[in-house]
Amino acid sequence: MLDLLKDIFDITLATIKDVIPIAGILFGFQFLVIRKPIPNMKRVLFGFLYVLIGLSLFLLGLERALFPLGKLMAQQLTDPAFIAGTKDVASEALQWFDYYWVYLFAFAIGFSTTIAEPSLIAVAIKANEVSGGAIGIWGLRIAVAIGVAVGISLGTYRIVTGIPIHYFIISGYVVVVIQTCFAPKLIVPLAYDSGGVTTSTVTVPLVAALGLGLAETVPGRSTLIDGFGLIAFASLFPIMSVMAYAQITAYLDKKNKQQTMEEEIN
């Protein structure tokens, strides 16, 4: 119990330390440059307090419950004994497809942590509000989560095979550029943003543990060089999936409209 209280205290302190520079900048500009009282001051302050409490509790819970188990799981799944155990002949050299549980775990953990990512929820709420409901909160979140899932599992495949990271990233850029030309214009800035949004509080620690564990296990990989780069995958692929989501929705809309028009004519 005492342990828990100490944890609560430490994490709250750390969160306050994170928030202070931001609050300092905001209030500094408000009072020195804008020189007007903040509208609904009391409400805003309470909002900040809630954010502070919420973030502290969120981090505390993650660190007590999900992170230790998730990290342990990443270690166990990348353990050579576990991977070799799924094979009939243990002496045979491991092939890239022997790591299938790792890819599956990467996909699942990428998807599920992105759904819980608070900053993505924030951006989805704002996008829904600004687009007048045209962009669904859940549609956007699921599109981004699929992008992260695909990205991270591809990233683990890269660590296993040892293909240089820039091949993937550069071809990803080419796809993004091509999609940009064809995607509905409204979605493009939001899609670019969703790349940066996906990777924060929940995703980064688990994904980093997975990358480092895998780089340690696979022979010939260095943890220092190959352990990094998963985050880059997780921030590139959502750009594609969000644009694809908009492209598919636009296509379906068009088809529906055509159908209703044809029906009206008939």
Partner 1 sequence: MYQGFLAIFRSMLGSLRDLAPIIIVIGFFQFAVLQQPIPNLADMIIGVVFVLLGLTFFIYGLEMGLFPIGESMAHALAKKGSVFWLIAFAFALGFGTTIAEPALIAVAAEAATVAAEGGMIEMTEVAKSSYASGLRFTVAFSVGLAIVLGVMRIIAGWSIQWMIIGGYVLVVIMTGFAPKEIIGIAYDSGGVTTSTITVPLVTALGVGLASSIKGRNPMTDGFGLIAFASLSPMIFVMAYGMII
Q: For the segment 77-96, give every residue that binds partner 1 (CB under 8 A).
A: 77, 82
Is residue 60 involved in binding partner 1 (CB under 8 A)? yes
Smallest separation (angstroms) from partner 1 to the CB of 90: 19
Query: What single letter denotes the amino acid at residue 213?
Result: G
Is residue 14 involved in binding partner 1 (CB under 8 A)? yes
Is residue 143 involved in binding partner 1 (CB under 8 A)? no
Smallest separation (angstroms) from partner 1 to the CB of 89: 21
Q: What is the DSSP letter of 96?
A: G
SS3 262: helix
Measured in whole angstroms, the distance separating CA 90 from the mean position of its chain's CA atoms is: 36
Q: Could you tell me if 90 and 226 are in contact, meaning their C-beta atoms sit under 8 angstroms apart?
A: no
Among 16, 130, 163, 248, binds partner 1 (CB under 8 A): 130
Q: Which lies closer to partner 1 via its Cβ, residue 122 or residue 252?
A: 122
Is the torsion defined by CA of 253, 259, 260, 262 positive or negative? Answer: positive
Sole window of 32-40, 91-99, 249-257, 258-266 interacting with partner 1 (rule: CB under 8 A): 32-40
Give CA angle at 46 (124, 2), nearest 5°.
100
Q: Which lies closer to partner 1 via its Cβ, residue 93 or residue 185?
A: 185
Half-sphere exposure (CA, 13 Å, Cβ side) for 244?
13
End-to-end CA distance of the chain: 73
Q: Which lies closer to partner 1 via its Cβ, residue 94 or residue 192?
A: 192
Total of chain residues touching partner 1, rule CB under 8 A: 102
Sole window of 59-67, 87-95, 250-258 interacting with partner 1 (rule: CB under 8 A): 59-67
Nearest to 99, CA basis, from 180, 10, 159, 56: 159
Please give the Cα distance from 127 to 135 (Å, whole number).
Answer: 7
Please give the Cα distance from 43 to 47 (Å, whole number).
Answer: 6
Among 6, 13, 47, 256, binds partner 1 (CB under 8 A): 47
Smallest separation (angstroms) from partner 1 to the CB of 45: 7
Which residue reads 């995703």 in tokens? 203
Sole window of 63-71, 91-99, 245-253, 257-265 interacting with partner 1 (rule: CB under 8 A): 63-71
Among 175, 193, 216, 249, binds partner 1 (CB under 8 A): 193
Buried b / exposed e over 242-259, threshold 16 CB at 10 Å, is: bbbbbeebeeeeeeeeee
Is residue 230 involved in binding partner 1 (CB under 8 A)? yes
Under 8 Å CB-to-CB from 194, ≥6 apart: which residues? Answer: 120, 123, 140, 143, 144, 147, 238, 239, 242
Q: Which lies closer to partner 1 via its Cβ, residue 94 or residue 186?
A: 186
The token pair at 155 is: 């990233």
Is residue 178 involved in binding partner 1 (CB under 8 A)? no
- Span 234-253, contacts to partner 1 by CB under 8 A: 234-235
Q: Which lies closer to partner 1 via its Cβ, residue 24 or residue 80?
A: 24
Is residue 22 involved in binding partner 1 (CB under 8 A)? yes
Measured in whole angstroms, the distance separating CA 97 from the mean position of its chain's CA atoms is: 25
Among 94, 165, 175, 250, binds partner 1 (CB under 8 A): 165
